[in-house]
Structure 1
Amino acid sequence: MPLISAVILGLIQGFAELFPFSSLGLLVILPHVVHLHVPTQGSRYLPFLVALHAGTAIALLLLFRHEWIRIVRGWFLWLRGTHTDDGRLAWLLIWGTIPTGLVGLILKHPLEHLFSKPLLAAIFLIVNGLIMFGGDRWYQNRRSRKVPLHRLSVGSAFKIGLFQILALIPGLSRSGSTMTGGVGQGLSFEDAAHFSFLLATPIILAASVLELPKLHGGLHGLLVPSLVGGILAGITAWLSAKFLLRYFRLHNLSQFAWISIAVGVLGVILIH
Structure 2
Amino acid sequence: MTLLQAILIAILQGATELFPVSSLGHAVLLPALLHWPFDEGDPAFLPFLVMLHLGTSVALFVFFWRDWAAIITGALGLHGRAYRLESFRILMLLAIATLPAVIVGGLLERALKHLFGSPFPVAGLLVANGLMLLIVERLKSRGVTTTSTTQEDRPIASLTSSDALFIGTFQCLALFPGMSRSGATIAGGLLRGLHHDVAARFSFLMAEPIILAATVHQTLKMRHMTISHDQIHLAFVAASVAGVTALISTAILMRYFRNHDKWALAPFAYYCIALGLGSLVYLGSTH
Same fold (TM over 0.5): yes
Work out the CA distance in 2 between the residues paired with 1:43 and 1:167.
Answer: 22
Determine which of 258, 261, 264 is the counterpart of 2:276. 264
Determine which of 196, 207, 214 is the counterpart of 1:189. 196
Query: Within the alignment, does 1:208 sit opposite 2:215 as a pair?
Result: yes
Match of 1:53 in 2: 53
Q: What is the Cα deviation at residue 42 of structure 1?
A: 5.7
Amino acid at match of 1:25: G
Contact 1:2 1:37 in 2 (8 A): no
The structure having more radius of gyration, on CA atoms, is 2
Query: Within the alignment, does 1:246 sit opposite 2:255 as a pair?
Result: yes
1:26-51: CA deviation from partner (whole Å, max 9, x where unpaired): 00011111022333326554553343
Pairing of 1:144-155 with structure 2 (within 5 A): 145=150, 146=152, 147-155=154-162
Task: Please give the secondary structure, in 2, of the residue aligned with 1:18.
Answer: coil
Work out the CA distance in 1 between the residues paired with 2:29 and 2:251.
Answer: 27
Work out the CA distance in 2 between the residues paired with 1:247 and 1:68.
Answer: 22
Q: List alignment gaps of at least 5 residues for structure 1.
A: none
Work out the CA distance in 2 between the residues paired with 1:48 and 1:103.
Answer: 25
Change (3 A) 1:43 1:75: farther
Amino acid at match of 2:114: H
Structure with the higher helix share, 1 or 2: 1
Q: What is the Cα deviation at residue 106 of structure 1?
A: 2.1
Match of 1:40 in 2: 40
Match of 1:71 in 2: 71
Pairing of 1:69-148 with structure 2 (within 5 A): 69-77=69-77, 83-140=84-141, 141-142=143-144, 145=150, 146=152, 147-148=154-155
Question: For structure 1, which segment, 189-198 or 130-139, has the greater mean C-alpha deviation from structure 2 after superposition?
Answer: 130-139
Determine which of 179, 184, 188 is the counterpart of 1:177. 184
Amino acid at match of 1:131: M
Task: Please give the secondary structure, in 1, of the residue aligned with 2:39.
Answer: coil
Calculate percent identity across the aligned residue pairs.
39
Task: Please give the secondary structure, in 2, of the residue aligned with 1:38.
Answer: coil
Work out the CA distance in 2 between the residues paired with 1:60 and 1:43.
Answer: 26
Question: For structure 1, which segment, 170-179 or 34-43, has the greater mean C-alpha deviation from structure 2 after superposition?
Answer: 34-43
Pairing of 1:161-176 with structure 2 (within 5 A): 161-176=168-183
Q: What is the Cα deviation at residue 18 of structure 1?
A: 0.9
Q: Aligned-residue CA RMSD in angstroms?
A: 2.4
Work out the CA distance in 2 between the residues paired with 1:124 and 1:219.
Answer: 35
Change (3 A) 1:89 1:16: same
Task: Please give the secondary structure, in 2, of the residue aligned with 1:107.
Answer: helix
Q: What is the Cα deviation at residue 139 of structure 1?
A: 1.5
Contact 2:39 2:117 in 1 (8 A): no
Q: List alignment gaps of at least 5 residues for structure 2.
A: none
Amino acid at match of 1:134: I
Query: Within the alignment, does 1:233 sit opposite 2:245 as a pair?
Result: no
Q: What is the Cα deviation at residue 123 of structure 1?
A: 0.6
1:214-268: CA deviation from partner (whole Å, max 9, x where unpaired): 1764179743332222211111010000011010112221111111111111111
